[in-house]
Amino acid sequence: MFDTVLVANRGEIALRVIRTLRRLGVRSVAVYSDADAGARHVRAADAAVRLPGGYLDAEGVVAAAKATGALAVHPGYGFLAENTAFARRCQQEGLVFVGPPPEAVEAMGDKIRAKETVAAAGVPVVPGGAEPADDLAEAARRVGFPVLVKPSAGGGGKGMLVARSPEELPEAVESARRTAQAAFGDATLLIERYVADPRHIEIQVLADAHGNVVHLGERECSLQRRHQKIIEEAPSPLVDDAMRSRMGADAVRAARAVGYVGAGTVEFIVSGDQPGHPAFFIEMNTRLQVEHPVTEMVTGLDLVELQLRVAAGERLPLTQDDVRMDGHAVEARVYAEDPSRDFLPTGGRVLSLAEPEGEPGVRVDSGIQEGTVVGSDYDPMLSKVIAWGPDRGTALRRLDAALRATTVLGVTTNIAFLRALLADPGVVAGDLGTGLIERRLGALLDGAYGPGGLPADVVSAAALILQDRLAGTAGDDPWDVPDGWRLGEPAWTTWPLSARDETAEVRVRGLPRRAASVAVDGATPASARLAGGPDALTGRGDALVTLDGLTSRFACAVSGGTVWLGRDGRTWAVTPHEPGDRGDRAGAGRAGDGVVRSPMPGTVLLVKVVVGERVTEGQPLLIVEAMKMEHTVTAPSDGLVAELPVRAGQPVDMDAVLAVVHDEAGESPAEPAPEGGTGAATVTGGS
Ligand code: ADP
Ligand code: ADP
Ligand code: MG
């Protein structure tokens, strides 16, 4: 085994690899970009080296390995994991790249070549066509619409777009090509027949350098949004022993076809409504996969340890007959995104963090800590919560409980949405499909956020915390309280509050910590009392709020005038504002004032209009990109483009003004948007 291993990655996967290194007694070296100085993975490793050029800085990684005496480099996933030039550089420098031989990565890294190679080995592939051999429009006509346009070098669902008709194809190709170039540096595309609502089932394979290849069974990853996995499980509720050995044999054949060594994943789609159909190969990921923990939990194996042993030249310690699957495991990916705002990426500083610890069958692979700043430079995945149970029902229940116990304040996440998804009847029944989320989106959002309105105890808690802080310096002496308390006739203080595009007016009277009254939106006042709350020093803590004798417990944090409250995996960022003003950033980018703002921090990718141009409502104005995802920003109304203060390539903050559209008379329309007015930003495709 290696003495020292460098981990060329960040976040949860770097931490996960370091964990195994520690268990094996191997010294670990982390690397970090300037944005990640002080990050969790840097502190967890035995040594850490700054990468001036960030995580894609191959030369920096090689130099760091030499400087620290590392003999092997584990690339995690993403970044340099599938970069054959880097793998070859490692070889040149006498470093072991913990991954397959460069030739295998090359053969599989390109979806077009991969399909050709495995098809020749007798593995079924989805019908399609590919550049440069085929004209995409002609190939699409041949296989029939709808078709899926894919970047050949793609990954993570990026840049994949469905074209339902010949008319839709040119735009899908244009956008897919742009994303492919930006995200993967390679604009080559392929098209495939779009299989309606398929199930994504993938096989984990493991090969050593002595010709042994085994598979570790399947994972089902059908719960996806825009081709990006959200929840994954092992085993698949669809797969029986016969199907498992059939798919396993295909996967092993695919791996052998490219001389594979190490851990890899062979991905298939299975038509949901034609169960007799074969599982079609779609691609092979020549690396550790995000969802590998579910396989680890049902097989009891440590895939990172096996990767290291194989890389060190050892034989696989097990044969196919030794592979056992026990129980069921489910993983949920926690993303910095806001499902209630069309899943736009969020960001911010983690003010307070709670993750389940030591619960039976629960594993948390997290990359964040209190103080972590989540920006737009990297993938928005913050952590993974994984639960095992002797049966699927237990695993799902444990996962839900673990998500309920996860609270991230300061950065909006998808946790409430994940919980709603786990409760979906189709999910509970194991009746999965890649279209499930889109189809059930309305119900899932209702389940996550309620059908409307802010819970009274949430806004009451926020108002009490704000009132208490107003009185804060005064301690307990009622005479010093600057507002809301006068001898003889206690006054009401009104807190107009907003959170998640909703508003509430909360009136508070009295001292929150002793005896107060709270009235929400004109309702009958309730007796109220606050215990705990944000700590004066750290700005965070637990708050107990009692309303008419009923106590609710929240995690809370205060920052920049916003009160963050969390309970059961749900969070609210409550902001006070002037009466009559919607106050929060919900107004950003909405129709009404003609000002179009950036829905997220990112970079302007493309400006599609010019100043003075006449536009119609909904017409694309610009494309903003964050985390390699494209977001089309559209005109809020008919009119003329009056201002366009940004240009392509320019980084923009959340809420930055991107354009101003005036009506024909040259005036900005005065009508304010209706409550909950629609944002002018829409997300396009899976790009
Ligand atoms: P899949 O690629 O099948 O979605 P994962 O979900 O394991 O597999 O993706 C792993 C991570 O690596 C994701 O965060 C994804 O965004 C990123 N990724 C995958 N392929 C690439 C690639 N070729 N280049 C850059 N990042 C990638
Ligand atoms: P990536 O490298 O981005 O992971 P994949 O080829 O693995 O790209 O596809 C990602 C997801 O898109 C799959 O998991 C599946 O849900 C969906 N998908 C891929 N190919 C097809 C297809 N031909 N028809 C329908 N859905 C598909
Ligand atoms: Mg894939």
Q: How far is the CA of 300 from the centre of ligand 1 (A)?
A: 24
Give me the pLDDT at residue 399, please.
Answer: 98
80-94, 529-543, 573-587: segment of lowest average pLDDT: 573-587
Q: How far is the CA of 192 from the centre of ligand 2 (A)?
A: 9
CB of 285 within 6 A of ligand 1: the answer is yes
What is the C-alpha to C-alpha distance for residues 347 and 622, in angstroms, rounded to an integer?
Answer: 21
Instruction: Report the candidate in 588, 117, 656, 88 with the shortest Cα–Cα distance to residue 376.
Output: 656
Nearest CA to ligand 1 atom 11: 78
- The distance from CA 595 to its chain's CA centroid, rounded to whole angstroms, is 29
Give me the pLDDT at residue 628, please.
Answer: 59
270-289: average pLDDT: 88
CATH number for the domain including 610?
2.40.50.100
Q: Going by C-beta distance under 8 Å and a sequence separation of 6 or more, which residues neighbour residue 485?
A: 471, 478, 491, 510, 511
3-state secondary structure of 317: coil
Give me the pLDDT at residue 674, please.
Answer: 40
**Between these two residues, 664 and 441, which has the higher pLDDT value?**
441
Instruction: Report the candidate in 543, 466, 552 with the shortest Cα–Cα distance to residue 507.
Output: 466
For 524-670, list the strands marked E by DSSP. Answer: 526-532, 540-547, 550-559, 562-567, 570-576, 595-597, 602-607, 614-615, 620-626, 629-634, 639-643, 651-652, 657-662
Say whether pLDDT at 681 is over 50: no
Tokens (6 digits) for 339: 């499902």
Q: How far is the CA of 265 from the centre of ligand 3 (A)?
A: 9
84-109: average pLDDT: 96
Please state whether the peptide bond connecting residue 235 to the residue before it is cis, i.e. omega within 30 degrees of 0: yes
16-30, 108-122, 174-188, 474-488: segment of lowest average pLDDT: 474-488
Give me the pLDDT at residue 655, please.
Answer: 78
Residues 341 and 440 in one domain: yes
Which pLDDT band, with edges at 50, 70 and 90, does 588 fall under?
A: very low
Q: How far is the CA of 221 from the centre of ligand 2 (A)?
A: 11
Give me the pLDDT at residue 665, please.
Answer: 57
Say whether pLDDT at 678 is over 60: no
Instruction: Report the candidate in 416, 414, 420, 419 with the shortest Cα–Cα distance to residue 441.
Output: 420
Residues 319 and 206 in one domain: yes
Give me the pLDDT at residue 489, please.
Answer: 53
229 DSSP β-pair partners: 224
Q: How far is the CA of 627 from the centre of ligand 1 (A)?
A: 12
Asked if the structure places residue 645 within a domain, the reply is yes
Neighbours of ion ligand 3 (CB under 5 A): 267
3-state secondary structure 491-506: CEEEEEEEECCEEEEE
**Between these two residues, 302 and 470, which has the higher pLDDT value?**
302
Give me the pLDDT at residue 598, please.
Answer: 84
Backbone torsions φ then ψ of 43, nearest 5 degrees: -80, -25
Asked if the structure places residue 145 within a domain, the reply is yes
Nearest CA to ligand 2 atom 12: 227
**Between these two residues, 316 and 602, which has the higher pLDDT value?**
316
Q: How far is the CA of 379 from the centre of ligand 1 (A)?
A: 9
Say whether pLDDT at 276 is over 80: no
Name the residue of 149, 227, 286 to mutate for ligand 2: max ligand atoms within 8 A of Cβ: 227
Domain count, the chain: 6
CATH number for the domain including 77?
3.40.50.20
What is the C-alpha to C-alpha distance for residues 510 and 529, in angstroms, rounded to an integer?
Answer: 10
Q: How far is the CA of 228 from the centre of ligand 2 (A)?
A: 9
Tell me if 222 sits within 8 A of 255, measured CB to CB: no
Residues 253 and 353 in one domain: no
Instruction: Report the candidate in 79, 158, 152, 161 with the shortest Cα–Cα distance to residue 114.
Output: 152
CB of 184 within 6 A of ligand 1: the answer is yes
- Ligand that comes closest to the CA of residue 150: 2
39-53, 302-316, 644-658: segment of lowest average pLDDT: 644-658
Give me the pLDDT at residue 582, please.
Answer: 45
3-state secondary structure of 265: strand
Pocket of ligand 2, beta carbon within 6 A: 126, 148, 150, 154-158, 160, 192-195, 198, 200, 224, 227, 267, 269, 282-283, 434
Residues 140 and 222 in one domain: no
User: Which of residues 302, 326, 350 is at a domain's end?
Assistant: 326
Residues 571 and 657 in one domain: no
User: Which of residues 292, 326, 360 is at a domain's end?
Assistant: 326
Residues 188 and 207 in one domain: no
Asked if the structure places residue 115 within a domain, the reply is no
10-14, 224-228, 651-655: segment of lowest average pLDDT: 651-655
Say whether pLDDT at 629 is over 70: no
Tell me if 686 sits within 8 A of 157, measured CB to CB: yes
Q: How far is the CA of 418 from the centre of ligand 1 (A)?
A: 20
CATH number for the domain including 498?
3.30.700.40
Residues 415 and 524 in one domain: no
Which range of residues forms the domain containing residue 20?
Answer: 4-98
Asked if the structure places residue 483 within a domain, the reply is yes
Give me the pLDDT at residue 495, please.
Answer: 95
Which tens digits make up the pLDDT trace of 379-400?
999 999 999 999 999 999 999 9
Give me the pLDDT at residue 205, please.
Answer: 98
What is the rounded average pLDDT for all residues in the chain? 90
Give me the pLDDT at residue 677, please.
Answer: 34
Asked if the structure places residue 256 within a domain, the reply is yes
530 DSSP β-pair partners: 545
What is the C-alpha to C-alpha distance for residues 4 and 2, in angstroms, rounded to an integer?
Answer: 6
Asked if the structure places residue 116 within a domain, the reply is no
CB atoms within 10 A of CB 164: 12
CATH number for the domain including 167?
3.30.1490.20
Asked if the structure places residue 117 within a domain, the reply is no
In Å, what is the CA distance from 11 to each residue of 220, 265, 585? 24, 21, 29
Torsion of CA 270, 276, 277, 279, to 10 degrees: 40
Which tens digits make up the pLDDT trace of 494-517?
999 999 889 999 999 999 999 999
Give me the pLDDT at residue 585, please.
Answer: 39
Q: How far is the CA of 190 from the centre of ligand 3 (A)?
A: 14
In Å, what is the CA distance from 169 to each residue of 146, 150, 191? 10, 12, 10
Residues 601 and 489 in one domain: no
User: Which of residues 406, 425, 451 is at a domain's end?
Assistant: 451
- Ligand that comes closest to the CA of residue 160: 2
DSSP 154: -
CB of 286 within 6 A of ligand 1: the answer is no
Residues 351 and 301 in one domain: no
14-23, 153-162, 628-637, 667-676: segment of lowest average pLDDT: 667-676
Which tens digits make up the pLDDT trace of 439-450?
999 999 999 998
Give me the pLDDT at residue 595, please.
Answer: 87
Nearest CA to ligand 2 atom 14: 200
Question: The whole model's pTM is what?
Answer: 0.87
Residues 575 and 491 in one domain: yes
Tally of helices (H runs) and strands (E runs) in the chain: 17, 40
Which pLDDT band, with edges at 50, 70 and 90, does 154 fall under?
A: confident
CB of 289 within 6 A of ligand 1: the answer is yes
46-60, 64-78, 660-674: segment of lowest average pLDDT: 660-674
Say whether pLDDT at 670 is over 50: no
Residues 343 and 443 in one domain: yes
620-648: average pLDDT: 85
Which pLDDT band, with edges at 50, 70 and 90, does 475 fall under?
A: very low
What is the C-alpha to C-alpha distance for residues 581 and 11, in angstroms, rounded to an integer?
Answer: 39
113-137: average pLDDT: 95
Asked if the structure places residue 648 within a domain, the reply is yes
Give me the pLDDT at residue 378, please.
Answer: 92
Nearest CA to ligand 1 atom 21: 155
Give me the pLDDT at residue 66, please.
Answer: 98
Name the residue of 152, 181, 290, 295 to mutate for ligand 1: max ligand atoms within 8 A of Cβ: 290
| Percent of residues, the chain, with pLDDT higher than 70 | 91
In Å, what is the CA distance from 299 to each residue of 135, 218, 486, 625? 45, 11, 67, 39
What is the C-alpha to C-alpha distance for residues 597 and 620, in angstroms, rounded to an integer?
Answer: 13
Q: How far is the CA of 161 from the centre of ligand 2 (A)?
A: 10
Nearest CA to ligand 1 atom 12: 78
Which pLDDT band, with edges at 50, 70 and 90, does 654 fall under?
A: confident
Residues 551 and 570 in one domain: yes
CB of 78 within 6 A of ligand 1: the answer is yes
3-state secondary structure of 246: helix
